[in-house]
Structure 1
Amino acid sequence: MTRTPLDPGAARRRYVVVSALFWLPIGLSIAPMVPLFSERGLSLAAIAGCVAAHSLTAAALELPTGGLSDVLGRRAVLAAAGLFDVAALLLAALATTAWALALGMALKGVGRALSSGPAEAWYVDTVHASAGPDAELRTGLARGHAAEAVALAVGVLVGGALPWLSGLGPDLGDRLGDATSGLVLPLSLPMLLGVAVEVGFVAYVLTALPEPPRPRATLSGVLRGVPGTVVSGLRLSAGDALVRRVMLSAAAAGGALVTVELLTPARAVDLTGAPESGAVLFAGLACAGYACSAVGSQLAPRVARLAGDGERAVLVSLGAAAGGLLLIGATAALAGPYALLPLAVGYVLIYVGLGAAAPSENELLHRRVDSAGRATALSVQSLALQLVGALTGLAAGNLPPGPPRWLLGGAVLLAGALLWARRPPAARSRTLADGVTEPDRGSRKSVA
């Protein structure tokens, strides 16, 4: 690998490719996962347990894996994430027992935790090495987030259509099952396609993402370095007012996303009157949501210019997303075709708003933390999103059906938006010896 830093344009293009290649297999697995697990004989409760294995594993490993990336390097950790995902997708596609499927979901959680931050941290490190610490980041971050959303949208469509298309052939499903002793079903095909994409992802990461040479890592060095990096990231997240607002905004977005993902399937069934047609409506809304998120990410630089700066852009974007969720909540008691319009408009506002907010939030974050703790800070952000999302989902599930459940998620997101309504006094920053950036006392006093 060359030690000459890539120019910002080349780094941006490679970051976009890596983002798309990682998230496409995840999109491929979304539509067929629950039906495939049901075909393997799992009850809904058992499927929920498999999903919990994924979520809990990812949450438990978020901070350690972020520190691992900061110690070992971005490329090695990204490649490891791809390899764990290969194993997870193979188990999801071919396993026939509940414990094996749960193991596959846990491995998927490991891959998710490992992937949380290294690609974005690599992009920012590369741009800073080539163009300096004041280089513009928002455009590249926006395109990376847009690539993720497009990959998910394409993956959902292909993953939902591939088993159906395979069923058009004469007895293809029976022939697949007979030839593989029941291991491969039509619903397994999207996961197997995802394995091929994931192998391509690993190869691309290892060959196309040069990074500055790091000191040779030893086991004792990693064991010493990871905890220290994690502590530094947590200290920065708690002590820097701007970073704290970024983390709390991510947490609010997690509450909103879980609300939408948890309640939309049942709402779609209520509006269409049948599970089958409700599933079609939900798939269409999910695909449209990812597409709207991509549009929002692409609009992020323009929103920031119109708003005046990144902080105002986050306020406007999250406010629009909260308005969309509150609109859905306010009309959740409606029935019939008249309820489809507010549901569709709300979906557009939610995903466009969240898509537009993320690049501005992350650019603000990257200007407050340096390379030594960058991936850890992104892992703290992801952990906040997952934990508050889980708590909001549990709370919504215990509220009465109808508007209260939706309005809870809208209120959480609105609170995240209002964090940006009051701007802290301008503060100079100083770099600490441990590699993180701490504001002066005037900024520390402001309320996140």
Structure 2
Amino acid sequence: MSMKTFMRLFCAFQFFRDFILVYAVDKLLFLERGLELYQIAILIALWSVMAIILEVPSGALADRWNRKNMLVLSGVFDALGFATWLFSSSFWLFLLGFVFLTIGGSFASGTLQAYVYDFLKLHEKESEFERIWGRGSALRLIGIAIAMSLGGFLSTRSYELVLVFSALSPLVVAVVALLLPQVKPITSTGERGYLTLLRSGVKQAFSNRALLRVFLYSGTVFVTFGVLEEYDQVLLSSRLGLPNSFIGIWLAAGIGVSGICAFYAHRIKHVSWRVLNIIAVVTGTILIIVALSKSLALLGILLLLCIFNGLVGVLTQGIIQREIDSDERATITSVNAFVVEISAIILGLAFAFIANRFGIHIGYGFFGVVVLVYSLANLVLRRFPVKRLLRRWGS
């Protein structure tokens, strides 16, 4: 398959992967179907736990079995999840939908990055990974922005219509994945079994100083962006009193800006760590400002976080893919996602406790402290390497 055809399919996959209209109103859907807020919180917590359990094993399965087939099944399971919600009116049926969505998400997480990198390496274009991945990330975020706008509008007419479109989009993803070429790992897994491959991938992940550094960054800075973007709408409403119509437009704009930054992130890949470290320090500082501010300047500050989010997602993936062996690529990428999930649960629960007790703006300040502490620790560790500890982890 030519690079041009591959790029078209990859971009289509990324666009429709998160072109999910119900994302704009999923919590409102749950409430409308009779769930209580505490039940929604339990569903989200269980979703995260299931994702943690499946994340790394699914990556190892992709390395051992077939990455293309995993991508196809990812779309099928996502479609089943949203189709289940279409008929759900109880906690347990919604949970079943989350089970399908977790399987679908874990089958694509790590697998897609590994598949794309090995395709590029097969064509001797692996140096363009950041550019290609950034373009795909940009289209994915644009798809989210459009879906959120459409989902909010269509939900005023029918939640069922929103769910139908949400279930159809993953089916498009499955069809696109079927059209992708088979790409085997550049380095064969030989006769190694699933568990052997899993152990080997995890061992490499935690014995490589560069990978550990990325995992730590992802588990603090990247998680900060992921958790807080869920609460931006609440912050803007409670602190600034902005109407929901404006907040929806602003959120879509923020996602669009993040997508543009992801698109161009490859241009600074040669200074990835310098940029990432600057982003960490600036992020921690402005989150402290968010905790103290109650002006319209918050709109600009949150938009800056969207810019950082777009850059960080691409640059960290580029570093990871260059550091790992082909036959364990999906496994180790999933280890990074595993770290992110664990950190998101811990920091997310801490944020929820602080925000509920002291106010959501103080919760943002909490994340500012976390990121600044990470930046200080990163500086110390760079000056005082912990080689002995790394050798112990790798043994």
Contact (CA 8 Å) 2:131, 2:267: kept in 1 or not? no
Show the counterpart of 1:314.
276
Higher share of residues assigned helix: 2
Label 1:320 to 1:300 Cα distance change in 2 as closer, same or farther (>3 A): farther
Aligned mates of 1:323, 1:150 — CA distance in 2: 28
Amino acid in the other structure paired with 1:363: G
Label 1:6 to 1:313 Cα distance change in 2 as closer, same or farther (>3 A): farther
TM superposition shift of 1:214: 10
SS, match of residue 183 in structure 2? coil
Show the counterpart of 2:58.
65
Aligned mates of 2:35, 2:306 — CA distance in 1: 32
1:25-70, CA deviations, whole angstroms, 9 ceiling, x for partnerless residues?
2xx1212212222221111112222222322211110011111111
Show the counterpart of 1:170.
none
Aligned mates of 1:31, 1:262 — CA distance in 2: 11
Show the counterpart of 1:430.
none
TM superposition shift of 1:313: 2.5
Structure 2 counterparts to residues 359-374 of structure 1, below 5 A = 359-374=314-329
Show the counterpart of 2:296.
340
Select the residue among 150, 155, 159 that pairs with 1:163: 155
Label 1:41 to 1:384 Cα distance change in 2 as closer, same or farther (>3 A): same
Select the residue among 394, 397, 400 that pairs with 2:352: 397
The two structures, once aligned, show a CA RMSD in angstroms of 3.0
TM-score (norm 2): 0.88
Structure 2 counterparts to residues 66-81 of structure 1, below 5 A = 66-81=59-74
Label 1:128 to 1:443 Cα distance change in 2 as closer, same or farther (>3 A): farther
Larger radius of gyration: 1
Label 1:261 to 1:348 Cα distance change in 2 as closer, same or farther (>3 A): closer
Label 1:444 to 1:393 Cα distance change in 2 as closer, same or farther (>3 A): closer
Structure 2 counterparts to residues 177-326 of structure 1, below 5 A = 186-212=158-184, 225-261=193-229, 263-271=231-239, 273=241, 278-304=243-269, 309-326=271-288
Structure 2 counterparts to residues 11-26 of structure 1, below 5 A = 11-25=6-20
Contact (CA 8 Å) 1:124, 1:137: kept in 2 or not? yes
Contact (CA 8 Å) 2:9, 2:176: kept in 1 or not? no
Label 1:76 to 1:309 Cα distance change in 2 as closer, same or farther (>3 A): same
Amino acid in the other structure paired with 1:407: G
Aligned mates of 2:350, 2:199 — CA distance in 1: 30
What 5-or-longer segments of structure 2 have no aligned partner? Answer: none
Contact (CA 8 Å) 2:131, 2:264: kept in 1 or not? no
Label 1:29 to 1:417 Cα distance change in 2 as closer, same or farther (>3 A): farther
TM superposition shift of 1:123: 0.9
Per chain length, whose mean CA-contact separation is higher, i.e. which structure has more relative contact order (CA < 8 Å, sep 6+)?
Answer: 2
Contact (CA 8 Å) 2:186, 2:327: kept in 1 or not? no
Label 1:283 to 1:232 Cα distance change in 2 as closer, same or farther (>3 A): farther
1:370-410, CA deviations, whole angstroms, 9 ceiling, x for partnerless residues?
22111111111111112111111111222242443212212
Aligned mates of 1:361, 1:252 — CA distance in 2: 13
Select the residue among 132, 136, 140 that pairs with 2:132: 140
Label 1:214 to 1:93 Cα distance change in 2 as closer, same or farther (>3 A): farther
1:187-219, CA deviations, whole angstroms, 9 ceiling, x for partnerless residues?
12122112222111111101134324999x9xx
Structure 2 counterparts to residues 69-108 of structure 1, below 5 A = 69-108=62-101
Range with greater deviation from structure 2 (59-68 or 142-151):
142-151
* Aligned-residue identity in percent: 21
Amino acid in the other structure paired with 2:327: A
TM superposition shift of 1:234: 2.0
Show the counterpart of 1:180.
none
SS, match of residue 348 in structure 2? helix
Select the residue among 126, 129, 152 that pairs with 2:122: 129
What 5-or-longer segments of structure 1 have no aligned partner? Answer: 167-185, 426-440
Amino acid in the other structure paired with 1:292: V
TM superposition shift of 1:330: 3.0
Label 1:323 to 1:158 Cα distance change in 2 as closer, same or farther (>3 A): farther
Aligned mates of 2:120, 2:364 — CA distance in 1: 40
TM superposition shift of 1:117: 1.5
Label 1:66 to 1:349 Cα distance change in 2 as closer, same or farther (>3 A): same
TM superposition shift of 1:288: 2.7
Amino acid in the other structure paired with 1:151: G
SS, match of residue 96 in structure 1? coil
TM superposition shift of 1:417: 4.9
